[in-house]
A and B are shown apart, each in its own frame.
Chain A
Amino acid sequence: MAPKAAAGKEKLVDDDEEVLQAVILADSFNKRFKPLTADKPRCLLPICNAPLLDWTLESLALAGVQEVFVICRSHADQIKAALQNSKWSRPASGLKIVPILTARETLSPGDAMRDIYTHGIIAGDFVLVYGDLVSNVRIDEVVRVHKARRRTNKDAIMTIVVKEAGTTHRTRSRGESAVFVLDRDTAECLHYEPVSGYPPKTLARIPREVLDEHPDIEIRNDLIDCGIDVCSVEVPSLFQDNFDYADIRRDFVHGVLTSDLLMKNIHCYVAREGYAARVQDTRSYDAISKDILSRWTFPLVPDDNHPGDVAYEHLRGNKYLPKDNSVVLSRTCKVGRNTLIGPASQIFADAQVAASTLGARCTVGARAVVRDSYLGDDVVVGAGCVIENSIVGAGVHVGAGTRIARGALVADGVRLGAGSRLLPFERVSRRRPVKEDGEEDGAEEEESDDDSEIEEAEENQTQLSSLLGPDSDAFVWPRKSGKGGNEDEDELENFNNARLMRLGKFRDDFADLDLSDPGSVTSSSGDSDESSDDDSVIQNFSPSSSTTSLPFAAAAISAGEHAKESEFRSEVRQSLERAFAEGHALDNAAVELKTLRMASNVPLARVREAVVERVVESIALVDGAGPQRVEIKRWVDRWGPLVRLIGGVDGVETVSILQAHCAGSSRLPLFGQILAAFYQNDIVEEDDIRAWHAQPAAKGAGLKEGPQLENMQKTWLVGARMIHQFNEQESSEEESSEAEESGEGSEEAEDASEDEDEDKEDEEDEEDEDDEDDEDGDKE
């Protein structure tokens, strides 16, 4: 097919009205949508109820492209079938679409370009796009500019379409963006600086030599790379010559601009009008869906030019309903703004749907809430479910009362039993039968290198899926941890950077990622100003919430672990708060914590820290010793045992944690009372307290001067007093036991309990004194 196309081309090239060719790279070359892309390619994922590829084709048709080559790699048969069935293959479509299969070894856009070269299908200037583009930019205008430039400058081989936006624009990928250095007058791209979100980039380096010839330069950090390139015919051959070019931007553009030999120029076209963006990750999926619904992509909107075959009606508040009146809405249901509801869907009483898209034939049960989420076709949402900020594939059955937290991805066909709970950013796919044979032909996204991951997940499946309800048919994917990733993993795809590209990420979620300049660490060193340049790279990441971490823990751990741990910490906090508020059973809460721990792979001590912290902080500060005592008892009695239930009993550590937490918290005066309460609930033993007290760290050894040290010492003194009491009791106990030596052993138990009661009172008195002492101390 390819040679034929080329032959047909040649005749036309000479004509003034050259046929405009386009190449669509219908493969993403990454796995950001896993597991949604397990059984179908990304370009066939629906966005606003039409496959991405159709949006792309629509965009190209709008731009006057006449001939399109679709480079397919994974699930090529599906893409071919989709193309054949789409309206584009009808004779009157005006688009000639040629699917081209490439080898499975095509691992990068660069490989695909080399493939294009070998096929010899390109005759002239062509438009290169990805199969996940949504655009209404006049690409023909870009082509015209490009050709005009080519007439005077043969070396201008490529024009990149970029869109003006702000630095923090929602469709601008936070994890993967770039700084363009352009000539002010000619828009020639002089330098391309890729920027990754994590680890944060601190310096942009612009070669000085560009200044020699270009006295006026603009540095643009506000451009969205639309992934639309108008290329000249020699571009594929350049890829062929430089076999190490993989990525079009980071390798090709960078290579061409830095090469002293090639002497080629690349220009940018800064689109001021129109809309163009790529669905590069789940985050941009969310952003672009919302952009379509709020009509930025006009004329590509659901009620006009919708690539799917359904005609929608645009209602006030950007709600879209099918024109055929097939949707059944209950009288009491609520449909919010920016919502698209597919044909034949049903929404039952008191259900709420807002800022979401629903596929065809979806059912939303009574009292269910669907917010900021994207549901595929035939999804059944049971009564009372809550789905937030998630993508749910086609045919998913969500049992009643299920909660799907933000950022979750649910692949096609999954059954979630009633009452399931998906944690934030959980990824779930259908439980796969034991190693089916058909795996080779499908599922490129999760082949070979993922096998180990899957196996590992299988082992933990009981752990991971413990929150799923009965009758679930789901496979919970393990969460990737910060350091576990493969060595050869792409820099851009590293865990922390990928986090920036996930759906459902709001500003506070990044607090743990240290996105400000690392130079800030040295800022305490006073005079060395030059090195102490601290500047938060992205202004609006509030750094405030990092205060949840304990001071001594935070210092020791490295950035990556730190990131993971504080994410974990915030999730533990949420989970516990929910448990406290909703009064879960202790066992359930413990299971949830264990799952979280498994998922994030953090040491047990961190879990204990988090639990102690939560319990202590939940105790309200009440005036008066009596009510305060009651308050403490209430919390510790109810939730204290959780510390034991999470496993790995270590009383000494518990006391240390309690101490460290109290020393840095407003609950400092309560330390003695809480410790006593712990003791009474058998969370810590007497020996533990003694062992803790003997540790040098308990006295605050190794801490710097400051309030923390003072508080540590104060708490240590409280402990000392308590031990003193123990000693006294022991001696009295000894006395009494000596006295009753002849008595029966069975009485001892009673004695003990009596003693305990006494202890309690003693301690409480003691504590009251302590409180006073503390207050005195404060006054001093």
Chain B
Amino acid sequence: MDFEESSSTKLASREFLAVVLAGFGNELLPLTSDHGDEPCPKALLPIANRPMIDYPLTWLEQSGITEVLLICPTAHRSRISHHIHSDTSSSSYPSLHVDVQTYDETQNLTVGTCTVLKHFSHRIQQDFVLLPCDFIPPAGLTLTSLLNKYRIESHLDGAIVTACWYQAQRPEKGAVPEDWGSAPTAIPIVWDRQSGTLLHVDTLDDLDRNGEELELRMSLLSRYARTSLSSRYQDSHVYVCKKSVLDVLHRKAEFDSFREEFVPWLCKLHYQRTKQQKYSKTLQPSQANVSQVLALRHSTLYSGLTYGGHHPPDDSTDSPTHKPMPLSGPPSPIGHIDDGIPAVSLRVGLIVHEGGFAGRANNLPTLLELNRHFLSLTTYALPTDPENRSLINVKSQISNDSMVGTSTKVGERTTIKRSVIGKHCVIGRSVRIVGCILLDHCVVGDGAKLDGSILGKNTKVGAKAELVRCLTQAGYEVDAAGSFKHEKLEISDWTAGRDEDAGNEESDSGGDDETDEEE
């Protein structure tokens, strides 16, 4: 047992480097706006009382990868690195060596993922896994399965990337106020089910070019005669890439976003001949490993080998696919297609994950959704250690589907339902909290009512205040008996304490599509 574990870990460590990108989280404003001079890094926003970065890091740990390059904005460095190297968190990923690197950018002026990667390409000397800090992997999907698909295909037919898409959640209507932004819509993709190949990603450019119709090349359709077009999946932004992909990235200076521009473009390398010729040298795909090919050809279970026009021979030579009589027909004039296909496919492999909850916590609706998902999995039990236990008043009611962090004090006759309460919070008496997320160090005064709101760190809610579907910036102070509905409460000026017009900021956050990318 021990032996097995250690050997696999070593193998993987040499093989892959994980590159985790952490950004500002402009879609999560105001939760990610600065708390005074202190930044609130998106990577540390908790989901179900765990900083979201812990989820991908734990996932990496399970896959046996040890080398991690974490790239974050300069301002976030100290907080993130403090978190990662703290005792509590390193216990969940003990074998990871996280190298925190920074790049200079500000919240208002962000650079694209491609630029960031190019900047750090000298640090990436092997095949790498690119992950966002906000992907919450589903329970049924291991990173190892992705790595294995990549391992097989990159050797077998020269795949260059393996991507992972997951089934998008369709949030119930009205669960989230509209002005929080909408959950990302699913992107139509064309993919081959049999071999697991991503063939086409519908990009915004495509939409601009032809908003009415989806344009597909006939060359694609003749190579993959039976393809699936799905609009129910989302990109996890987890890519297992060949190292040489970075070299191609260097040649394509105009790309900004890895997900929105580069990957859709990479898909085309597989079936567009001139592109393939142009870039195959750069990509230098490893020569097909003969022994493995042979082994897989004899495998009865592995179906991926017959990708694209590679029909089983009887399909193209003989007439109908299903033989009514076991007699061989005359050879078809078409002949075999095999010789037309180069040995190196340069394709983008794809794993589609269905079932099991997954999401990228890069906007408010999914953040809420993910929190609720984890709530539904846990059942609340009173803390067992006497110290924490004593903080929770016996006369408070905490429903089963809630979560309360350590060292949080809950006052008398307080009701908490379907909510996540962070650590070190102080909840007063007769408070009613329903469907809320309270980050750490919040203080809620007596008799306050909170419904469907997300409170940033250190938010102080005065007594008898009422918040319905509000968002507060870290450190915001709600006046006693104040009442807000559907508002984003932000601190425009630190000294002013309170700001009524939250609308401005909101429109800003809506426009920042690119920022979302880095996360």
Q: Tell me the A residues contacting B by CB distance below 8 Å.
A: 136, 163-171, 179, 181, 184, 195, 200-209, 211, 215-222, 272-275, 290-291, 293-296, 298, 318, 337-338, 355, 506-507, 516-517, 520, 523, 529, 532-540
Given A205-B210, A217-B229, also A167-B222 (CB < 8 A): yes
Question: With A and B bound together, what is the CA distance between A419 and B325 in angstroms?
Answer: 43
Question: With A and B bound together, what is the CA distance between A296 and B333 in angstroms?
Answer: 16
Question: With A and B bound together, what is the CA distance between A77 and B272 in angstroms?
Answer: 54
CB distance from A82 to the nearest CB of B (A): 28
The answer to whether A535 and B219 have CB atoms under 8 Å apart is yes
Question: With A and B bound together, what is the CA distance between A215 and B325 in angstroms?
Answer: 38
The answer to whether B325 and A298 have CB atoms under 8 Å apart is yes
The answer to whether B225 and A166 have CB atoms under 8 Å apart is yes
The answer to whether B232 and A216 have CB atoms under 8 Å apart is yes
Q: Which of B226, B309, B311, B325 has the most CB atoms of chain A within a 10 A radius of its CB?
A: B226
Question: With A and B bound together, what is the CA distance between A209 and B117 in angstroms?
Answer: 36
- List B contacts of A200 (CB < 8 A): 218
Q: List 10 A-B contacts (CB under 8 A).
A: A166-B311, A204-B221, A205-B214, A207-B212, A211-B231, A275-B324, A532-B274, A535-B219, A539-B223, A540-B335
Given A208-B211, A337-B330, A535-B272, also A170-B319 (CB < 8 A): yes
- List A contacts of B220 (CB < 8 A): 535
Given A533-B274, A535-B273, A539-B222, also A296-B324 (CB < 8 A): yes
Interface residues on B, range: 35 or more
The answer to whether B218 and A203 have CB atoms under 8 Å apart is yes
Given A208-B211, A275-B324, A296-B319, also A537-B222 (CB < 8 A): yes
- List B contacts of A290 (CB < 8 A): 319, 329-330
The digit string for B111-154, where 1 denotes a CB below 8 A from any CB of A, is 00000000000000000000000000000000000000000000
Given A215-B230, A535-B217, also A294-B332 (CB < 8 A): no
Q: Which B residues, 171 to 210, have Cβ-Cβ distances below 8 Å to chain A?
A: 186, 188, 190, 210
Question: With A and B bound together, what is the CA distance between A516 and B316 in angstroms?
Answer: 21
Question: With A and B bound together, what is the CA distance between A555 and B218 in angstroms?
Answer: 26
Indicate whether B322 reaches chain A with its CB closer than 8 angstroms.
Answer: yes
CB distance from A362 to the nearest CB of B (A): 21
The answer to whether B215 and A204 have CB atoms under 8 Å apart is yes
The answer to whether A218 and B329 have CB atoms under 8 Å apart is no
- List A contacts of B271 (CB < 8 A): 535
The answer to whether B309 and A272 have CB atoms under 8 Å apart is no
| The one of B229, B232, B273, B324 that contacts A536, using a Cβ cutoff of 8 Å | B273
The digit string for B267-306, where 1 denotes a CB below 8 A from any CB of A, is 0100111110000000000000000000000000000000
Indicate whether B385 reaches chain A with its CB closer than 8 angstroms.
Answer: no
CB distance from A514 to the nearest CB of B (A): 13
Shortest 9 CB-CB distances between A and B: which pairs? A535-B219, A222-B225, A294-B329, A215-B232, A534-B274, A205-B213, A539-B340, A221-B221, A217-B229
The answer to whether B219 and A170 have CB atoms under 8 Å apart is no
| The one of B229, B319, B324 that contacts A206, using a Cβ cutoff of 8 Å | B229
The answer to whether A533 and B272 have CB atoms under 8 Å apart is yes
Question: With A and B bound together, what is the CA distance between A179 and B316 in angstroms?
Answer: 18
A336's closest neighbor in chain B, by CB?
B330
Indicate whether B320 reaches chain A with its CB closer than 8 angstroms.
Answer: yes
- List B contacts of A202 (CB < 8 A): 217-219
The answer to whether A273 and B322 have CB atoms under 8 Å apart is yes
The answer to whether B226 and A540 have CB atoms under 8 Å apart is no
The answer to whether B324 and A204 have CB atoms under 8 Å apart is no
CB distance from A685 to the nearest CB of B (A): 47
Known: A206-B213, A211-B188, A532-B275. 9 other contacts (CB 8 A): A165-B320, A179-B218, A205-B215, A211-B229, A215-B232, A217-B231, A219-B228, A294-B319, A539-B340
The answer to whether A170 and B334 have CB atoms under 8 Å apart is yes
- List B contacts of A216 (CB < 8 A): 228, 230, 232
The answer to whether A506 and B333 have CB atoms under 8 Å apart is yes
Given A216-B228, A536-B273, A540-B334, also A208-B320 (CB < 8 A): no
| The one of A163, A208, A294, A529 that contacts B275, using a Cβ cutoff of 8 Å | A529
- List A contacts of B109 (CB < 8 A): none
Given A204-B215, A507-B335, also A215-B186 (CB < 8 A): yes
Question: With A and B bound together, what is the CA distance between A517 and B274 in angstroms?
Answer: 11
The answer to whether B225 and A218 have CB atoms under 8 Å apart is no
Indicate whether B1 reaches chain A with its CB closer than 8 angstroms.
Answer: no
CB distance from A59 to the nearest CB of B (A): 14
| The one of A136, A221, A318, A506 that contacts B327, using a Cβ cutoff of 8 Å | A318
Question: With A and B bound together, what is the CA distance between A209 and B212 in angstroms?
Answer: 7
The digit string for B257-275, where 1 denotes a CB below 8 A from any CB of A, is 0000000010010011111
The answer to whether B327 and A295 have CB atoms under 8 Å apart is yes
The answer to whether A203 and B226 have CB atoms under 8 Å apart is no
Given A208-B213, A219-B216, also A275-B230 (CB < 8 A): no
- List A contacts of B327 (CB < 8 A): 294-295, 318
- List B contacts of A222 (CB < 8 A): 225-226
Indicate whether B328 reaches chain A with its CB closer than 8 angstroms.
Answer: yes
Chain A interface SS verdict (over half): loop
| The one of A166, A217, A291 that contacts B329, using a Cβ cutoff of 8 Å | A291
The answer to whether A295 and B316 have CB atoms under 8 Å apart is no
The answer to whether A220 and B225 have CB atoms under 8 Å apart is yes
Indicate whether B388 reaches chain A with its CB closer than 8 angstroms.
Answer: no
CB distance from A197 to the nearest CB of B (A): 11
Indicate whether B337 reaches chain A with its CB closer than 8 angstroms.
Answer: yes
| The one of A195, A206, A218 that contacts B218, using a Cβ cutoff of 8 Å | A195
B186's closest neighbor in chain A, by CB?
A215
Given A275-B324, A529-B275, A532-B274, also A219-B217 (CB < 8 A): no
Q: Which B residues, 226 to 273, have Cβ-Cβ distances below 8 Å to chain A?
A: 226-232, 252, 265, 268, 271-273
The answer to whether B333 and A507 have CB atoms under 8 Å apart is yes
- List A contacts of B337 (CB < 8 A): 168, 539-540
The answer to whether B324 and A274 have CB atoms under 8 Å apart is yes
CB distance from B208 to the nearest CB of A (A): 12
Question: With A and B bound together, what is the CA distance between A516 and B273 in angstroms?
Answer: 10
The answer to whether B274 and A520 have CB atoms under 8 Å apart is yes
The answer to whether A169 and B334 have CB atoms under 8 Å apart is yes
Indicate whether B500 reaches chain A with its CB closer than 8 angstroms.
Answer: no
- List A contacts of B222 (CB < 8 A): 167-168, 221, 537-539
- List B contacts of A207 (CB < 8 A): 212-214
Given A204-B218, A532-B274, A536-B273, also A166-B315 (CB < 8 A): yes
- List A contacts of B252 (CB < 8 A): 529
Question: With A and B bound together, what is the CA distance between A337 and B330 in angstroms?
Answer: 8
Question: With A and B bound together, what is the CA distance between A202 and B265 in angstroms?
Answer: 18
The answer to whether A208 and B212 have CB atoms under 8 Å apart is yes
The answer to whether B319 and A291 have CB atoms under 8 Å apart is yes
- List A contacts of B309 (CB < 8 A): 166-168, 539
The answer to whether A221 and B226 have CB atoms under 8 Å apart is yes
B213's closest neighbor in chain A, by CB?
A205
- List B contacts of A272 (CB < 8 A): 321-322
Q: Which of B215, B223, B319, B324 has the most CB atoms of chain A within a 10 A radius of its CB?
A: B319
The answer to whether A219 and B319 have CB atoms under 8 Å apart is no
The answer to whether B330 and A179 have CB atoms under 8 Å apart is no
CB distance from B192 to the nearest CB of A (A): 10
- List A contacts of B381 (CB < 8 A): none
CB distance from A621 to the nearest CB of B (A): 30
B340's closest neighbor in chain A, by CB?
A539
Indicate whether B343 reaches chain A with its CB closer than 8 angstroms.
Answer: no
Given A204-B215, A205-B213, A534-B273, also A165-B321 (CB < 8 A): yes
Question: With A and B bound together, what is the CA distance between A295 and B213 in angstroms?
Answer: 42
The answer to whether A294 and B225 have CB atoms under 8 Å apart is no
Given A166-B315, A203-B216, A529-B275, also A217-B230 (CB < 8 A): yes
The answer to whether A517 and B213 have CB atoms under 8 Å apart is no
The answer to whether B230 and A537 have CB atoms under 8 Å apart is no
The answer to whether A169 and B221 have CB atoms under 8 Å apart is no
CB distance from A305 to the nearest CB of B (A): 13
Question: With A and B bound together, what is the CA distance between A442 and B49 in angstroms?
Answer: 87
Question: With A and B bound together, what is the CA distance between A523 and B223 in angstroms?
Answer: 21
A354's closest neighbor in chain B, by CB?
B330
The answer to whether A184 and B324 have CB atoms under 8 Å apart is no
Q: Which of B232, B330, B332 has the most CB atoms of chain A within a 10 A radius of its CB?
A: B330
